[in-house]
Amino acid sequence: MPHESTAVEAQALSIFTPVNLILLSLAVYIIYSRLRPAPPSNIKHDAPRVFRTFTPKTLSPYNGTESPSVYLAVEGRVFDVTAGKSFYGPGGPYSNFAGRDASRGLAKNSFDEEMLTPLDKPIDKLEDLTDEEKESLAGWASHFEGKYLLVGRLVEKGSKEAEEAKDE
C-alpha cells in the first residue's frame, strides 16, 4: 500500500494537468495577440482641401445634398462641418445654414429662414446686432474654430477677391 500512495501523490503534483495546459495555451494566445503587429488600416483618406474663396453663390452647393460636403460661413470664414452632418446636413436641426452664411441666425439663436440673406443680395454686415448677439456670435465662431476645419473665406460677388479666385 505505501507504494500506491506515492504514485497518487506524484500524479497530483504534476504541472502538466489538462487544466494547466489549457490555461498555459490561453496565456500564450493572449500574449501573442497583444504583441503581434497590427494589420495596416484601410482608412479612406479624403482628398486634400485647398483654402479657397467663396461667394454666397459658390458656397451654396455645399449643403449636403448637391455635394457630399457640408460647409457654412460664420463671420466671413467658411468651415467644413461635414463631420457634424447630422446637425448641419439634410434633416438636421441646423440644415438651413448648410451652404450659407449662418452668422445672423447664430447671433440671434434663430434657425428661421428669414435669418438667411438671399444669395443674390450683398453679404449681411451684421451692423444692427446688439452686444449680446455679438457675444453669442463670437461664441459660435470660437466653437467652429475649435471643432471644424477652416476651408475658405466668404466674399462679395464681384469683389476683387472673388475676381482673383475666378482667375486661379
pLDDT single digits (tens) 14-35: 777 888 889 888 888 888 888 8
- Containing H/E element for 77? strand 77-80
Distance CA 42, CA 18 (A): 41
Question: Which 8-state DSSP code applies to residue 109?
Answer: T
pLDDT single digits (tens) 108-119: 999 888 899 999
Find, among 127, 96, 92, 131, the residue nearest to 110 by Cα: 96
Per the rule left: phi > 0, alpha: psi between -120 and 50, beta: everything else, 91 is left
Distance CA 119, CA 138 (A): 23
DSSP states of 109-127:
T---GGGSPPTTSPPP--T
pLDDT single digits (tens) 51-61: 899 999 999 99
Cell digits of residue 59: 458656397
